[in-house]
Structure 1
Amino acid sequence: MDTMLTIVVPCYNEEEVLPISSKELLIFLLKMIEAEKISNESQIMFVDDGSKDNTWEIIEQLSNEDKHYTGIKFSRNFGHQNALVAGLTSAEPYSDAIVTIDADLQDDINSIEQMIDAYHDGNDVVYGVRGNRDSDTAFKRKTAEGFYSVMKKLGINMVPNHADFRLLSKRATQTLLEFKEENLFLRGMVPLVGYPSAKVFYARKERAAGESKYPLKKMLSFAFEGITSFSIAPIKFIRNLGIFILIIGIIYMAYIFGRNISGNTISGWSSIVGSIWLLGGIQMISLSIVGEYIGKIYTEVKRRPRFIIEKNIRDK
């Protein structure tokens, strides 16, 4: 089989897990080559997203040991989504298909074989989808379900329980790279490509070593990024909330006016102060949401590069 496959692996401070995952990825790659499902020129590309440990040194050592390893190094940390785009951009010119997978290998490597089969069956996009979330805590399961539910209600087309473990054909990669926005949310962008797609279900494993790069705070930030990158529903919600509060205010004023006419009034500051705090809080939240959209516009119009590559092993 002449299919040139590149497996793109974003890395940030992965010195603990990289020696383990790189070996497993190479074993799988060689197995696929031996089975003649992919070309012998297929590679594993590590993208060092500005790591502060010895991640890049490990990548260089791996590339010296085996030709199937390659890598690129960012000049600083640009973020996971930009690392994926950099890998796609670098691999696209010479790859027929590209698989993206995280370095911790919680996603099942063996599922890539099913992805390749689906690609050979004519699918340009193959999503790796978790069969269940039994390994997650109850809190994480509920928040994940809530996130996908909110995204669906906002009209954002996403594949539930799919992260960034997927296969893209050459033309799907080329089309995706035509999306030039700076605020990246690939889980929402890939379905917009619209080519034939398939799903491969797998069981997510525990992280082999190291710590998760997505704590709760970062996950919430990522979720908010996805919502504001694909929908103006929050702004519409603010508008509707403002109308609702205005109506309540008019009713309340009519009520107070009626009490004043009857002479049955109660003096005090509690209702006034409560109203001030309520409206003040709503205004602050509203301004912050509107500001988020303005900030995204500011980021887009600057047209700064998504990433800067300091070193590329293929250039040697």
Structure 2
Amino acid sequence: MTILAIVVPCYNEEDILPETIEQLRALRQQLIDEQLISSESKIVFVDDGSRDRTWSIIYKACLRHEEVKGIKLAGNAGHQNALLAGMFAVKDVAHCIVTMDADLQDDIYVVREFVCKFHEGYDIVYGVRRKRDVDSYMKRWTAETFYRMMNRIGVKLIYNHADYRLMSRRAVEALQQFREVNMFLRGVVPLLGFPSAAVYYDRKERKAGVTKYPLMKMMRFAFDGLTSFSMMPIRFVSLLGFCSFFVSVLFAIYVLFLKMTGHTQTGWTSLILSIWLVGGLQLMAIGLVGEYIGKVYKEAKQRPRYIVDIDLLHWPMMASCDGEERLKKLSDFL
């Protein structure tokens, strides 16, 4: 029987987390009753350095329900690293892993279709949004522009797919071979090359809490993804440099022609504009080169992507204790 692990990264999700836990527990039981997954299947919450009661809620849920497990990172490692921490922790105890956000905006009952696709032989199943009606116009426009731009420059992304997906154990093991610190999962997962399928769903409104990806953070995330997979931005700046040089040659020929015909006029406007144009291009080029050098710098240091503070998934005494004894031993362990 297939053992499923649902990995949910959490950052300051105290408002929505209790409902998320109950809905995922109900979903797990439904899949067990339909004999699609094993009763050994788990729900793993990864606390990404939350500053509210998120870990306290996860901790208490672990005490009440054996199928709920928790991993606490030592600090805020970021959404992508929290996903990796959860996937790598459960890959040895699960046949397939589903990753999703804690805000319940993604339709959790699509997991049933994920598992069915897995049984059909697919190693990766993408959850793809049919439409983005619940997003603001600006967020929708920027997201769609990002997907189109990435596809045009040759980066293989699944359109309107975020991090709601199923991956088999061997797919996660292959993913673990990617050692880069700047991991952009939406671009890396399609590179694995395993059989994949897509399941479409409608995204819901957030029931509680606030988004952890406002517009500026989304733009930084998109820029990180772009510079992680393509040299196109720096080549574009090089093209601008060549164009600027070509225009300056034409302007020099024009000025020489005016001088030879005696029509030169003194003035500083064209000179100042030229200086500003060239100076702006140079600063932009230096900044973009610096972005790539910064990524090389981070990779060269080879610092760990995350550090686990508390791992209740692999705590050996959890399964053998009940009631007050379990509470006492877990408290002693913590």
TM-score (norm 1): 0.98
Instruction: Quote the residue 2:32 is aligned against.
Output: 33
- Equivalent residue for 2:152? 153
| CA distances 1:220-274 after superposition (whole Å, capped 9, x unpaired) | 0000000000001111111111111111111111111111111111211111111
Deviations 1:72-111 (A, max 9, x none): 1011101000000001110111110000000001000000
Identify the residue that residue 23 of structure 2 maps to in structure 1. 24
Cα offset, 1:314, TM superposition: 2.5
1:279: how far off?
Answer: 1.1
Partners of 1:183 and 1:136 lie apart in 2 by 27
- Where does structure 2 lack aligned partners over 5 or more consecutive residues? 316-334
1:52 aligned onto 2:51: yes
Q: Secondary structure at the match of 2:92?
A: helix
What is the deviation of 1:315?
A: 3.8
More moved, 120-129 vs 136-145? 136-145
SS at 1:52 equivalent = coil
Distance in 2 (alpha carbons) for counterparts of 1:75 and 1:98 = 23
1:198 aligned partner: 197
> Secondary structure, in 3 states, of the residue corresponding to 1:86?
helix
- Residue 173 of structure 1 is matched in structure 2 by 172
* Residue identity matched to 2:72: K
User: Once the two structures are aligned, what percentage of the paired residues are identical?
Assistant: 48
CA distance in 1, matches of 2:148, 2:308: 37
SS at match of 1:314: coil
Q: Deviations over 1:190-213 (max 9, x none)?
A: 000111001000000011110000
Query: Equivalents in 2 of 1:115, 1:63: separation in Å?
Result: 25
Equivalent position amino acid for 2:108 in 1: I
Instruction: Give 2:187's aligned residue.
Output: 188
- The aligned residue for residue 116 of structure 2 is 117
Matched position secondary structure for 2:46: strand
Deviation at 1:27, TM superposition (A): 0.5
CA distance in 1, matches of 2:314, 2:87: 16
Shift of 1:138: 2.5
Q: How many residues align?
A: 315
| Residue 101 in structure 1 maps to residue 96 in structure 2 | no
Give how far 1:151 is off.
0.2
Distance 1:314 1:216 in 2: 34
Unaligned runs of 5+ in 1: none
Instruction: Give the aligned residue type for 2:290.
Output: G
Q: For 2:52, give the aligned amino acid.
A: D
Partner secondary structure for residue 5 of structure 2: strand
4+ residue runs of structure 1 moved beyond 4 angstroms?
A: none
Structure 2 match to 1:72: 71
Matched residues in 2 for 1:137 and 1:17: separation?
21
Per the TM alignment, residue 136 of structure 1 is displaced from its structure 2 partner at its CA by 2.2
In structure 2, distance between residues paired with 1:298 and 1:258: 49
Measured on the aligned residues, the alpha-carbon RMSD in Å equals 0.8
Aligned match of 1:256: 255
- Mapped partners of 1:183, 1:3: distance in 2: 32
Report the counterpart of residue 126 of structure 1 in structure 2: 125
CA distance in 2, matches of 1:296, 1:80: 18
Map 1:259-298 → 2, pairs under 5 A: 259-298=258-297
